Amino acid sequence: MNDSPVRVGLLGCGTVGSSLISLLQRQNTLIGARTGLDLVVTAVAVRDPGRARPAELADAVVTTDAASIVSDPDIDVIVEVMGGIEPARELLLAALRSGKPVVTANKALLAAHGAELFAAADAAGVDLLFEAAVAGGIPFIRPLRESLRGEPIRRVMGIMNGTTNYILTRMTEAGAQYGEALAEAQSLGYAEADPTADVEGLDAAAKISIVASLAFGVDLAGSMVDTEGISSITADDIAFATRNGFVIKLLAVAERFDTDHGDELSAAVHPVLVPIAHPLAAVRESFNAVFVEGDAVGELMFYGRGAGGDPTASAVLGDLIDAAVNLRSGAHGSIGGLGTPQLRPSEQASSAHYLSLVAVDRPGVLATIASVLGENGVSIASMAQSAADSELGGSLAEDEARLDFITHRVGRLELDATLAALRSLDAVRRVGSVIRVLVEEESES
Amino acid sequence: MNDSPVRVGLLGCGTVGSSLISLLQRQNTLIGARTGLDLVVTAVAVRDPGRARPAELADAVVTTDAASIVSDPDIDVIVEVMGGIEPARELLLAALRSGKPVVTANKALLAAHGAELFAAADAAGVDLLFEAAVAGGIPFIRPLRESLRGEPIRRVMGIMNGTTNYILTRMTEAGAQYGEALAEAQSLGYAEADPTADVEGLDAAAKISIVASLAFGVDLAGSMVDTEGISSITADDIAFATRNGFVIKLLAVAERFDTDHGDELSAAVHPVLVPIAHPLAAVRESFNAVFVEGDAVGELMFYGRGAGGDPTASAVLGDLIDAAVNLRSGAHGSIGGLGTPQLRPSEQASSAHYLSLVAVDRPGVLATIASVLGENGVSIASMAQSAADSELGGSLAEDEARLDFITHRVGRLELDATLAALRSLDAVRRVGSVIRVLVEEESES
């Protein structure tokens, strides 16, 4: 084994970069004992050269010129934790083309330009590793890329955004309204001042697109993911779910369907009523988890911290060690070529659903509504009616009742027709939440 | 890339071997697309040549002479799913010494002779992979070996035996007695006719010894693991746990303690009261899970099927692909050298505990018992008293009461002294279960 240090160029030195530097400092002896490697950060690109840096960087070049690090022949490996699309994309392409392995935590970049970067890595025969880009500290990408390479994966479902999981947990456990829980998440630093990317599901959509691309071997961009957030979920929806044995979670879901004309894929982010006994229901606060269903392996779940400086740095460090080991041995990983996904037409989607209606509280209304459901082929698994003076009736007028239904599996077209028919009824004041329900056999036959 | 097939020699063709053959047949096109490899089982060693074999084996050599497969220069990789210590150990050492990578699912062999096998693999510069030996289909060994190579791991706790988890789940959810739940597990094929290795924790001890060796870089044999099973747990213990917000699980635990004279390790298998909100509490039926705590990554959990032909074959196949990819690229993994573990003296162990006593039901007895606890430095977190005619009093005589305590953290020596003092009291008829309780901050400072 070559005894010279592996020289690391770090692009970005915020929370994750600083955590990485101190973790590396602390663990370098152990890493040396296990791998024979001496990893040294020799150059760091920063935005603001005046800001205080970790003491461990004393001997490193600190520069605002990231391109100079990428082109420096004395740098062996590039670690990118700066975020954003550009200049990160140009910098990483340049690094890969010059034969430098790259470790990145940049989910937005991979969701938008993953295929281009993977192709550049394969063309150069170097590693492009990105464990930290999905589910933070959870070692999930490596098992998916390597351990499950031969597994017929049917579905991957994840709680991939800690902010929304924190908000939903507070709504469930403290009975908070959405706005209150969001404000609490913001005051704790779990949510940004502009929380759109989290609460509308965009962050989770970028992550599931990366996961779907790996799981199914296709180039599935973040923009192809059907995305729905949690901002319209009410405390009453949560209360109904709790009473009926469910927890509401924002799930990112990628699924494969065998069809006569080949595999069809779907990828979506949406709120789902998850049965309380399902392992994903136990994922609380800002934790993340990814649930995998395969034909041979059955059900798997990977759970941990989806964000934060130290957990993310842990994932980056694992990748960095791997890249350095491979660099010294001349090996490199590859995810293989990515095909073009055949997306499942959205009108073929089907699921059990939770529906909430506000109707006029008079005799015969339930019969009218139930017959609309029946005529549209929607079969009811359970229902509850609440008057204005009941626990779930807080937002109702005197003459209104709330009707909550859980349906059996219903197709998208039938559901849309049903909702239109319900809205056209005089007796229906408004249709509230319409949320998917996770059922044991979610896959269609 | 070399286009010739990778020739696999399979030692053993029972449930896992047969599952592997059909999974490989089904997935070979996908594996080829992802890795460029064509994996072919060309020879199989069996015990009974007369038994029916999978149709996919038509072109393979089927023999009772396993050694002939190991020494065959036309075989590239050995997969061992025969189990047992000998002849598996001799066969795998011979395979490694002749430069053949080995994939094994044999936990008993690794727990007893892991260090010898790892050293032989390193000496020959080939892979020894064993994902399936711990937690069946769950991809846990690879993340532990690779993703977490740089992580300061503090504790690994797992539900590593599906039989005992099934029994405890039935006792918890159906109120079954231990014997009833065991009989049910046996009738479903989850437990053997002689269930000793499962219910007394020996199977889990072998697995945690492998995990501890990897997590802490030491040669920790299965025989060094303190082991206690579940056969003395009663339905009343379970009922008390449930009422107080706990689930009883059989946990395999390996932990590292920083001391002035270096790291000390402990490794044990024992029943534990797990708080209902802990992710391990949601692991039901025959599922397994491994919970990892690291200084940087925080908490991680890996969940899935710990046994069964298909899940185990999925793990073996992941390793087989890895070994074949490495073989073609000339790379190989290594867990590095294993040091000698410094075991933590067992009298330094401490934990919160659940204690159950049967005492004479007369005035002043509780005060007597409480003062014995206090004199021995045992602080009580909660307690409950049940009379003979109460729900938890079913096994009591008319004049007896049951006392259940949950203590704060107490050292092993104090606990032993307390139990001896309690047993010596006239008023104490018997001391029942003494079970550890998992607390948030289990690690000592």
User: Nearest to residue A77, comparing CAs of A422, A423, A320, A348?
Assistant: A320
pLDDT given for residue B440 in this prediction? 67
Give the mean model confidence (pLDDT) for residues B14-23. Answer: 93
Q: Are B294 and B300 in contact (CB under 8 A)?
A: yes
Main-chain dihedrals φ then ψ at residue B317, nearest 5 degrees: -65, -40
Nearest to A33 among B139, B143, B336 (CB): B336
> 3-class DSSP state for residue B415?
helix
Cα A65 to Cα A71: distance, rounded to the nearest angstrom: 11
Beta-carbon-side half-sphere exposure of residue A241 (alpha carbons within 13 Å): 32
Which H or E element spans position B359?
strand B350-360
Quote the minimal CA–CA distance from B326 to chain A in Å. 8
- List CB contacts (< 8 A) between B285 and chain A: none
Residue type, B434: V
Cβ distance of B151 and A308 shorter than 8 Å: no
Q: How far is A5 from chain B (nearest CA, A)?
A: 16
Nearest-Cα residue of chain B relative to residue A286: B299
- A-chain CB neighbours of B300 within 8 Å are 137-139, 302-305
- Min Cα separation A262/chain B (Å): 14
Interchain pair B296, A23: CB under 8 A: yes
Contact status, residue A44 vs residue A10, Cβ threshold 8 Å: yes
Q: What is the DSSP code (8-state) at residue A431? A: E
Contact between chains at B303 and A300 (C-beta distance less than 8 A): yes
H/E segment holding residue B177: none
Q: Are A159 and A303 in contact (CB under 8 A)?
A: no
**Residue B115, min C-alpha distance to chain A (Å):** 15
Contacts of B317 in chain A (CB under 8 A): 150-151, 296
What are the CA-CA distances from residue B419 to residues A406, B271, B324, B401, B439 (Å)?
A: 53, 18, 56, 18, 21
What phi and psi, each to the nearest 5 degrees, are found at residue A326? -65, -40
The percent of residues above 90 in pLDDT, for chain B, comes to 79
Give dist(CA A113, CA A98) in Å, integer.
19
pLDDT digits (tens, 9 = 90+) for B114-157: 999 999 999 999 999 999 999 999 999 999 999 999 999 999 99
Q: Which residue of A has its CA nearest to B289?
A: A301
Which letter does DSSP use for residue A132 in this model? G
Point out which residues pair with A8 in neighbouring strands: A41, A77
A319 to chain B, closest Cα gap in Å? 7
Q: What single-letter DSSP state applies at residue B5?
A: P
Check if the beta carbon of residue A401 is closer than 8 Å to that of residue A361: yes
Ramachandran assignment for A255, one of left (phi > 0), alpha (psi -120 to 50 degrees), beta (any other): beta
The nearest CA of chain B is from the CA of A69 a distance in Å of: 24
| Axis-axis angle for helices B309-329, B15-35 (nearest 10) | 40
Taking an 8 Å cut-off on Cβ atoms, the answer to whether B152 and A315 are in contact is: no
Give, as one character, the DSSP assignment of residue B285: T
Which chain A residues are closer than 8 Å to B8 by Cβ? none
Q: Is B207 a catalytic residue?
A: yes
User: Looking only at Cα atoms, what is the longest distance across chain B?
Assistant: 84
Residue B442 has pLDDT above 70, yes or no: no
Contacts with A284 from chain B: Cβ below 8 Å: 277
- Shortest CA distance to A300 belongs to which of A91, A157, A131? A157
Extended strands (E) in B136-206: 153-159
Q: Which of A26, A34, A217 minimises the CB distance to B149?
A: A34
> Which residue in A31, A304, A326 is closest to B297 by CB distance?
A304
pLDDT for position A445: 34
CB atoms B151 and A318 under 8 Å: yes
- Phi, psi (deg, nearest 5) at residue B289: -160, 150
Per the CB < 8 A criterion, the answer to whether A161 and A271 are in contact is no
Answer whether B150 sits within 8 Å of A31, measured CB to CB.
Answer: yes
CA B299 vs CA A139, A303, A321, B280: distances in Å: 11, 8, 21, 12
For A131, the closest chain B residue by CA position comes to: B147
pLDDT for res A442: 43
Chains A & B: contacts with CB separation below 8 Å? 196
- Candidates B150, B139, B152, B9; CA nearest to B69 is B9
Strand arrangement, sheet containing A77-80: A61-63, A39-45, A6-11, A77-80, A102-104, A128-129
Instruction: Identify the band that residue B292 occupies on the pLDDT scale cut at 50, 70 and 90.
Output: very high
pLDDT tens per residue across span B97-116: 999 999 999 999 999 999 99
What CA dihedral angle connects B72, B75, B80 and B84, to 10 degrees? 0
Give the model's pLDDT for residue B2.
Answer: 56
Write down the pLDDT at residue A440. 67
Rounded to whole angstroms, how far apart are CA atoms B196 and B189?
A: 15
C-beta atoms of A30 and B329 within 8 A? no
**For B315, nearest residue in chain A (alpha carbons):** A147
CB contact under 8 A, A310 and B296: yes
A433 strand-pairing partners: none
What residues of chain A score a pLDDT lower than 50?
1, 442-445
Residue of A nearest to B35 (CA): A336
Contacts of A297 in chain B (CB under 8 A): 137, 304-305, 310-311, 314-315
Contact (CB<8Å) B299/A304: yes
Chain A CB contacts of B258 below 8 Å:
none
Q: In chain A, what residues touch B336 (CB-CB under 8 Å)?
A: 33-35
- Asked if A296's CB is within 8 angstroms of B150's CB, the reply is no
Q: What does the pLDDT read at residue A131?
A: 95
Q: What is the set of domains in chain B, with CATH numbers?
A: 6-137+309-329 (3.40.50.720), 141-305 (3.30.360.10), 349-437 (3.30.70.260)
Chain B residues whose beta carbon lies within 8 Å of the beta carbon of residue A302: 300-303
Half-sphere exposure of A13 (CA within 13 A, CB side): 28
Q: Do A305 and B311 touch (CB under 8 A)?
A: no
Which chain A residue has the Cα nearest residue B327?
Answer: A331
B218 within 8 A of B341, measured Cβ to Cβ: yes
Task: Flag whether pLDDT at B1 surpasses 60.
Answer: no
State the angle between helix axes of B412-423 and B365-375 in degrees (0 to 180), rounded to the nearest 10.
150
**What residues are paired with A194 via a beta bridge?**
none
Cβ distance A331 to B330 less than 8 Å, yes or no, reads yes
Angle formed at CA A415 by CA A413 and CA A418, multiple of 5 degrees: 110
A303-336 pLDDT, tens digit per residue, is 999 989 999 999 999 999 999 999 988 888 877 7
Chain B hits for A318, CB-CB cut-off 8 Å, are 146-151
The residue of A141, A300, A334, A440 whose CB has the most chain B CBs within 10 angstroms, and thus the best one to mutate to test that interface, is A300
Residue A435 near residue A354, CB atoms below 8 Å: yes
Nearest CA in chain A to B297: A311
Per the CB < 8 Å rule, is B315 touching A147? Answer: yes
CB within 8 Å: A336 and B33: yes
Distance to chain A for B300, nearest Cα, Å: 4
**With contact defined as beta carbons under 8 Å apart, do A285 and A249 qualify?**
no
pLDDT for B441 beyond 70:
no
- Shortest CA gap B146–chain A (Å): 7
Q: Most B CBs within 10 Å: which of A303, A327, A338, A440, as the mutation test of the B interface? A: A303
Whether B254 contacts B153, CB under 8 Å: no
Contact state of A297 with B314 under an 8 Å Cβ cutoff: yes
Provide the CB-side half-sphere exposure for A335 (13 A, CA). Answer: 28
- Rounded to 5°, the CA angle B301-B307-B309 comes to 135
Q: What is the CA radius of gyration of chain A?
A: 25
Contact partners, residue A300, CB within 8 Å, separation at least 6? A291, A292, A293, A294, B137, B138, B139, B302, B303, B304
Q: Which two tokens stand for residue A11?
A: 């692009």
The phi and psi torsions of B379 (rounded to 5 degrees) equal: -100, 135
- CA nearest neighbour of A355 among A280, A273, A426: A273
Q: Which residues of A touch B310 (CB under 8 A)?
A: 295-298
| Whole-number average pLDDT of chain B | 92
Query: Is there a contact between A330 and B331 if contact means CB atoms under 8 Å apart?
Result: yes
Per residue in B25-42, pLDDT (tens digit) is 999 988 998 888 999 999
